[in-house]
Amino acid sequence: MHNIRVFQNRGVNAFHGGYSSQPIFGGPVYFFRNLLYHVQSGVAFKLDARPAGLLMYHNTLIGEQAVRSPNGNVHWRNNLFLGRDTPDRGIMVWANATADHSSDYNGFRPNKGIAAQYLWMAPSEPGQTLYQNTREQWKSFRTLAELQAATGQEKHGRELDFDIFEKMVPPDPTKRHAVYHAMELNFRLKANSKAIDAGVALPTVNDSFTGGAPDLGAIEYGQPEPHYGPRWVTWTPFYR
């Protein structure tokens, strides 16, 4: 329920949801420096059962955050969300049920041909909560600039593309049951890309950043990747 840390994980080939916060009652829960690839449902983070008190920092997610379950006191910083051109959904949903929320310094790769690229819900009156909400209380935006102007959030957010990585090919949204091998994926950022130095300093989270500011995503440019999997494995593991 409280003081939970989910960090430096690599998740590949999840059928329904990536990282779950169901249930979380109050938090704080820290999701930071996690990788995710190929979640065909569009549920990068499963924010069901009205979770509250989530701090989402420095995650790299190849896929959409399409969850419309209301949540409270959730704060997003320095994350990367890169869409796969899934034909039926946008790249990001913020379902803020309370006035305690914030989102900034994140990077987004929109899905092509989607009008409702960014979905937003938040209380408009003091003391209001939206755990029970109506269609009229949701707003949709085609571009990040439109969302920034209407909500005041993501003032330092940016839209980018897969060329921020050294080499990254997104999963095919038409092949729902495809299996991808984690060891063949390269989540490293390319030098001088739009994700470099585009983040904000978060004390005790990214103190060791290089350059003028922290980079977006899970892996800082020029720093080694974490060791994923059993630490006693010193050879190429049997899983991929």
Which DSSP symbol is given to 136? G
Residue 239 is predicted with a pLDDT of 59
CB atoms within 10 A of CB 93: 21
Would you say the C-alpha torsion 46, 47, 50, 53 has a positive or negative sign?
Answer: positive
**Tokens encoding 12:** 């590949």
Fill in the amino acid letter for 75: H
Residue 228 is predicted with a pLDDT of 86
**What percent of the residues of the chain are helix, what percent strand, and what percent coil, each to the nearest 5?**
5, 30, 65
Which DSSP symbol is given to 167? S
**Tokens encoding 91:** 């790249």
Residue 236 is predicted with a pLDDT of 64
Residue 229 is predicted with a pLDDT of 80
Which tens digits make up the pLDDT trace of 76-107?
999 999 999 999 899 999 999 999 999 999 99
Q: How far apart are CA 26 and CA 94, in angstroms?
A: 18
Q: Give SS3 for 156.
A: coil
Order of all β-strands in the sheet with 29-32: 4-7, 29-32, 52-57, 72-77, 101-104
Query: 80, 110 in Cβ contact below 8 A?
Result: no
CB atoms within 10 A of CB 110: 22
Query: 31, 55 in Cβ contact below 8 A?
Result: yes
Would you say the C-alpha torsion 221, 190, 76, 34 has a positive or negative sign?
Answer: negative
Residue 234 is predicted with a pLDDT of 72
Residue whose C-alpha is closest to residue 216's, from 78, 62, 76:
78
Residue 3 is predicted with a pLDDT of 92
For the chain, list residues with pLDDT below 50. none
Q: How far apart are CA 223 and CA 203, in angstroms?
A: 18
Q: What is the pTM of this model?
A: 0.96
Residue 115 is predicted with a pLDDT of 96
Secondary element (H or E) of residue 81: strand 80-82
Q: Say whether the peptide bond before residue 23 is cis (omega within 30 degrees of 0).
A: yes
